[in-house]
Chains A and B, each alone.
Chain A
Amino acid sequence: EADIYQTPRYLVIGTGKKITLECSQTMGHDKMYWYQQDPGMELHLIHYSYGVNSTEKGDLSSESTVSRIRTEHFPLTLESARPSHTSQYLCASSDRQGRYEQYFGPGTRLTVT
């Protein structure tokens, strides 16, 4: 089983609140990713990082931001949550040579009311 953790697993929050979704991995992987997943839809990459102090926006526009201060930690922040942010957020990591195998966390199910 992959050693990648996400907290919280479920979050229900009101509009306008600031939230941070946590993601940590203990595999020493350089590359980390955040995906958004909605029912019946493909995973959309919203942020990725190739190492400490490296962050890039993914293919899907997102109002969230990320940081990578430590190799093992890749948190995602929403400054002001809106109902349109309701979704499943998946964190993944891969090693430097990982062209295919990404290890996924269990996901955070976010509901904004």
Chain B
Amino acid sequence: QKEVEQDPGPLSVPEGAIVSLNCTYSNSAFQYFMWYRQYSRKGPELLMYTYSSGNKEDGRFTAQVDKSSKYISLFIRDSQPSDSATYLCAMSADNQGGKLIFGQGTELSVKP
């Protein structure tokens, strides 16, 4: 069983829609939760991170972590065509020396 599971998509939504991206995990030691965005032919870039449980908001993006359910989400409000990319969740624990465990990514397409 994979440590991190992510819905692979692809996901296609109209411009302005609310997008929900999700990951589940099995390792209860994970404390650092991240979302990376990867445009075609580019490397991933950090979009948001959350330590432990809770919510974090940055503009149109909201990251949620529910450690009791081992479930994390990324919400995108008022989605734009420029949001079209692959979104990767990633997680880390204190005893892993900074190594990240990634989900397989969800490809998102926002249609104008």
Contacts and interface: CB of A to CB of B under 8 A. Distances in A.
Interface stretch (B14-22, B64-72, B76-84, B100-108): B100-108
Interface in B41-89: 41-46, 49, 88
A42 B32 contact: no
Interface stretch (A11-19, A67-75, A76-84, A95-103): A95-103
Contacts of A34: none
B98 A106 contact: no
B49 A100 contact: yes
A41 B32 CA distance: 21
Nearest to B100: A102
A50 B4 CA distance: 24
A101 B94 CA distance: 14
Interface in B25-50: 32, 34, 41-46, 49
Interface string A20-57: 00000000000101000000111101001010000000
* Chain A, interface SS category: loop
B97 interface: yes
Interface of A: 2, 4, 31, 33, 40-43, 45, 48, 50, 58-59, 90, 92, 94, 98-107
Given A42-B88, A59-B99, 19 more contacts: A4-B43, A42-B101, A42-B102, A42-B103, A43-B44, A45-B100, A50-B97, A94-B98, A99-B32, A99-B94, A100-B32, A100-B90, A100-B92, A101-B34, A101-B46, A104-B43, A105-B43, A107-B42, A107-B43
7 contacts: A42-B101, A42-B103, A43-B88, A43-B100, A102-B46, A105-B43, A107-B42
